Amino acid sequence: SKTQIANVKGTVIYFLELYDVKQLSTGLAQLSITVGTVSYCGRKINNHFSGSQRYFCSLHAEEAARVARVVRSCRYSCIMQEWGGKREVMYTAFKALGDTVDYIQVCDSDTVLDPACTIEMLKVLEEDPEVGGVGGDVQILNKYDSWISFLSSVRYWMAFNVERACQSYFGCVQCISGPLGMYRNSLLQQFLEPWYHQTFLGSKCSFGDDRHLTNRVLSFGYKTKFTARSQCQTETPTQYLRWLNQQTRWSKSYFREWLYNALWFHKHSLWMTYESVVTGFFPFFLVATVIHLFYRGRLWNILLFLLTVQLVGMVKATYACFLRGRLVMIFMSLYSLLYMSSLLPAKIFALFTINKAGWGTSGRKKIVVNLIGAVPVTVWAAILLGGMVYTIYCEVQEPFSEREKALLIAGTILYACYWLILLVLYLAIVAKRCNKREEQYHLSYAEA
């Protein structure tokens, strides 16, 4: 076939400041395992730029042409540039490749690719010329490192294999995830400059590059798809605060891109409009509902709400168990509590700080020293605690009837039994596999 794909051509971009010599050597070794024996052209480029200059944009025409020639003439090439965010290195690769390839595959530096992932995404793009981009199934590599990474792993499975699979049916996947995606290059080159120079409220956008790339494809009226046959594994934060900061950053890009996405509702299926409106307004509806229930002065309202949240979580988890055929998906119901207690306030906080880009999650295993992510959770906890205190005060003023006592006791016992059963299952199925990181990593790499 004459079809050319950028990742087969082998253009690899590394953040110079993120890797030392040993790490870079390891990365190249892993690359050779993934795509075959690496061959070099025998040429080396030593361009050094300081300050906040952008790599490809700061090159003179002659130097930029030289970089492009090396990339296009070598089967595999590695460009090292100053750290400036993923959008910077993606732009360098896209610009250097130009129109020499038909498709471009993107991934993250911590992504382990399945050998068949490229072919499976290529099939989707080849079968339908109206598809502008396609994403694959992203799984968690370090899911047994901590409880937060484990819950993220079950949530990822649901997000990709149910939610994005549904969007794909209607041809409107709203975010082709950064760790695994492929784009039609002829289309990508048309919006490359607007995508790279994206601004919001007067500030240049850094994060959210994958979601905006997807939105640009949708804006041209092209479809975006998902294929579960294309798989990869990637790392996720293992610490609560780092996970919280990651989710806040993602929420910022979500709300920003929601406004852009709304401009193209008329070009796609009605499902995209419906889902965007529901998911966009749901957090605010939920916050208002929770505050209303917690400040109504009735304990039963609070208990009924908690039971309802877990009931909905159990229904989704049970469905996921049957769909995936694995009992471990039952822990998907635990994610509902994480959503209510942490992700919900993080989303609201993200909206109010949508134009602040001074903190995020670069370096996923690095110890978090920025505690700002805990601010919305602390405020949210204080609001709920205030409602609980107010409710208890109101209930004390008027004695419970026998029927109310029976309902409260029964509901409390039911809620406690739910958590006891889930805790026992977690200790029996998941906890014993934690702290065996070396074994799990070997298993994950073997699976990939």
Q: What are 155-202's pLDDT values in tens digits?
A: 999 999 999 999 999 999 999 999 999 999 999 999 999 999 999 988
Nearest alpha carbon to residue 14 among 26, 6, 4 = 26
pLDDT at 168: 97
Can you give the CATH number for the domain in which 217 is found? 3.90.550.10
pLDDT at 32 over 70: no
**pLDDT tens column, 316-336:** 999 999 999 999 999 999 999
**Residue 329 included in any domain:** no
> What's the mean pLDDT in 105-114?
90
pLDDT at 47 over 70: no
**Residue 20 included in any domain:** yes
**Residue 94 included in any domain:** yes
| Candidate from 38-42, 65-69, 400-404, 440-444 with smallest mean pLDDT | 38-42
Helices (H), 398-429: 402-425
**Residue 338 included in any domain:** no
How many independent structural domains does the chain possess? 1
Indicate the helix (H) or strand (E) that contains 231.
strand 223-234
pLDDT at 442: 53
pLDDT at 89 over 50: yes
How would you list the strands of the sheet with 131-140, edge to edge? 103-106, 181-184, 131-140, 223-234, 112-113
**pLDDT tens column, 115-163:** 999 999 999 999 999 999 999 999 999 999 999 999 999 999 999 999 9
**pLDDT tens column, 237-296:** 999 999 999 999 999 999 999 999 999 999 999 999 999 999 999 999 999 999 999 998
Residue 66: what residue type?
R
Nearest alpha carbon to residue 45 among 22, 12, 79 = 79
User: Please, what is the end-to-end C-alpha distance for the chain in angstroms?
Assistant: 26
State both tokens at 310.
Answer: 């877990």
**Residue 324 included in any domain:** no
Question: Distances from the Cα of 295 to the Cαs of 28, 369, 387, in angstroms?
Answer: 58, 35, 5
DSSP, collapsed to helix, strand or coil, labels residue 43 as coil
State both tokens at 3.
Answer: 């079809």
User: What is the number of alpha carbons within 13 Å of residue 178 lying toward its C-beta?
Assistant: 18
| Candidate from 205-214, 216-225, 232-241, 437-446 with smallest mean pLDDT | 437-446
Q: Output 88-91 pairs: Cβ under 8 A, ≥24 positions apart.
A: 88/54, 88/55, 89/13, 89/14, 89/15, 89/55, 90/13, 90/209, 91/54, 91/56, 91/192, 91/196
**Residue 422 included in any domain:** no
DSSP, collapsed to helix, strand or coil, labels residue 135 as strand
**Residue 21 included in any domain:** yes
Q: What mean pLDDT, rounded, does the chain reach?
A: 82
Under 8 Å between Cβ of 78 and 12: yes
pLDDT at 435: 61
Domain interval for residue 52: 6-236
DSSP, collapsed to helix, strand or coil, labels residue 128 as coil
pLDDT at 269: 94
Nearest alpha carbon to residue 98 among 24, 15, 193, 181 = 193
What CA–CA distance (Å, rounded) separates 100 from 6?
9
pLDDT at 22: 43
**Residue 382 included in any domain:** no
| Candidate from 37-46, 203-212, 434-443 with smallest mean pLDDT | 37-46
Nearest alpha carbon to residue 18 among 76, 85, 77 = 85
Under 8 Å between Cβ of 54 and 88: yes
Indicate the helix (H) or strand (E) that contains 183.
strand 181-184
Under 8 Å between Cβ of 276 and 265: yes
